[in-house]
Structure 1
Amino acid sequence: MRKFNVIAAILGLGLGFAAAPAAHAASLIPQQEGEIKTTNLGCLDPSQCISTSSSGFSVTSLQFDTDKRQKVNYGLSRLFVDSKGTENDYGNGFIRFGTSDGGTTEGIGQFWLRAAAIQDDGVASEGGELEVGRFLFEFERELEEITIDFFDVESARSSGILEVNGQKVTDKMLVAGADGNTQTLSLKNVTSLVLQLGKTDGKGKGDGVTISGVEIVKTVPEPTATFSLGALAVAGMFGVKKRKKLA
């Protein structure tokens, strides 16, 4: 399986959308293990559910394309925040993550997004360790720039970006790379995108991905926010003049 590194160039999200230099970018990946609450699936266990609404974006799980020749068809994948070195159980054994995964090389204590492929018959492929999924990310604010790093891509045109702002794109799927190799994609003026993570071979096996390092770097400022800052500056100038007169 290949590891997928995502760095989203945004200036802040939600109330935290304030301008900030890239060096102080905030991570979009919650720093805790659990299941991401997608808009259409919810979570297997409410006590292990993570909402992204306060971070200024939502995630929707999308249907995989199916091939009539496949012996196994796939439905909506689930998305998790995981960390190597810990065991996790979701849905009373429905999905289990071990302390290690033979296809990933993340460091101990590093949090990443991890898809789990679910078959049409409701079975979690490989006990949830088939890291394949398709997800729609929608942002509350337009992102001026997004840079996405894909680590250790093993299969050509199986991971990448399928849509940007509701429009299909054909030049954002990645080629196969050497072990440990990183490939980077950059997008401008983004309000939504569809990520394709890995592929299946129709037999319950497949080449998967993990996602880590999603960081806020830059976004388009809201006109109202710009106006408010200008108004504060003007008010400040009047305040200075008034104090001088009083003096």
Structure 2
Amino acid sequence: MRPFTSKLAKLALSALSAGCLAVAIAPAASAFTLVPDREGEIDAGVGPSLSNDGYLDTSDLGYTVESLDFDVNRNNRTTTTRSRLFVDRADTSNNYNGGISFRSRDIGTSDNNGTLWLRPVAMIQQGSGILERGQLEAGFFRFNFTTALRDLTMSFFDVESRGTSVLRVNGEDVNLAVAPKGDRRESSISLSNVRTLEVMIGNANTSGPNRNDRRWRTGDGVLVSGTGTTEDVPEPAAMASIALAAGGLSWMRRRRQQVAEES
């Protein structure tokens, strides 16, 4: 074997090894879940926590959440409010400060199988306390993800009236309504390439175009969860290795072409 040919073979092996490295360090999918693994309150930017244990930390799950204003029509009055956000098992009882009380069998929204859900609480005042003592599971939230989600499936439990919708993804209007399926059933919406998400959960109105039954005295409470995958980004050093591998292959092709022309 001629010296140059031997050198070319070594370069080929080197490039192949670099190529294998590039494959090994290519972005890898990681599982994502929206729901922390224990009950408590999530910081949605509405003031101090009502839990004696303080807020649950969602940063290790890869997101933050912000409660947004929405309008509620009750007794011919329109009230602008926001909601708190809790992690809750619908078959357990929990009491929080501020008059919020979750029953062991929640009004209209209970799966009875120990699943943890995100549970909004509309902060509408009635008299000196919270309306329905925190039983009105409705709210408007913006989720901000640390790493873009390659895919995300949002699950909604107990959607009984119109109003629950994914309104914006990455700042763009999408208006994906969740079809009512009735008591204790689950609906879902699948999304891709999600960096931010704005979603209306439940329906706090007792009447109007979003209601199925105007005789209802309470709103439509909905629980929500989400699962998906993120795409891990390679470290800068790894990206440099990929660039070197590509450069080596390009140089090898040029040298091969020169040898062919000299022959």
Q: TM-score scaled by structure 1?
A: 0.72
Measure the CA separation in 1 of the matches of 2:195 and 2:243: 32
* Structure-2 residue corresponding to 1:209: 222
Amino acid at match of 1:211: V
Distance in 2 (CA, whole Å) between partners of 1:71 and 1:160 is 23
Q: Which residue is equivalent to 2:76? A: 70
Q: 1:87 to 1:233 in 2, by over 3 A?
A: same
Q: Deviations 1:112-135 (Å, cap 9, x if unpaired)? A: 110111126784210001001111
Aligned to 2:105: 100
| Matched residue, 1:141 | 147
Judge conservation of contact 2:153–2:191 (CA < 8 Å) in 1: yes
By percentage of residues, which structure has more helix? 2
Partner secondary structure for residue 218 of structure 1? strand
Assess if the C-alpha contact under 8 Å between 2:90 and 2:105 holds in 1. yes
Aligned to 2:193: 189
Distance in structure 1 (CA, Å) of the matches to 2:65 and 2:150: 19
Equivalent pair of 2:39/2:116 in contact (CA under 8 Å):
yes
The amino acid across from 2:41 in the alignment is: E
Q: Does 1:151 align with 2:163?
A: no
Gaps of 5+ in 1: 1-17, 236-247
1:205 CA displacement: 2.1
Alpha-carbon distance, 1:103 to partner: 1.1
SS state at 2:53 partner: helix
1:20, CA displacement in angstroms? 4.2
* Corresponding residue SS for 1:153: coil
Match status 1:53 vs 2:59: yes
Which of 23, 30, 34 does residue 28 from structure 1 map onto?
Answer: 34
**Which among 196, 199, 203 is matched to residue 203 of structure 2?**
199
Residue in 2 that maps onto 1:113: 118
Shift of 1:74: 4.5
The separation in 1 between residues aligned to 2:239 and 2:204, in whole angstroms, is: 53
Aligned-residue offset at 1:111: 1.0
Q: Which has the larger radius of gyration?
A: 2
Q: Answer 1 or 2: which has greater strand percent.
A: 2
Report the CA distance shift for 1:101/1:150 in structure 2 as closer, same or farther (over 3 A).
same
Q: Give the partner amino acid of 2:28.
A: A
Matches of 2:224 and 2:150 in 1, distance apart? Answer: 21
Identity %: 35
Q: Which moved more, 1:115-124 or 1:80-89?
A: 115-124
Question: C-alpha separation between the residues in 1 aligned to 2:108 and 2:238?
Answer: 49
Q: Secondary structure at the match of 2:77?
A: coil
RMSD: 2.9
Q: CA deviation at 1:30?
A: 1.1
SS of residue paired to 2:155: strand
Report whether the alignment pairs 1:218 with 2:223.
Answer: no
**Aligned 8 A contact 1:73 1:202 in 2:** no
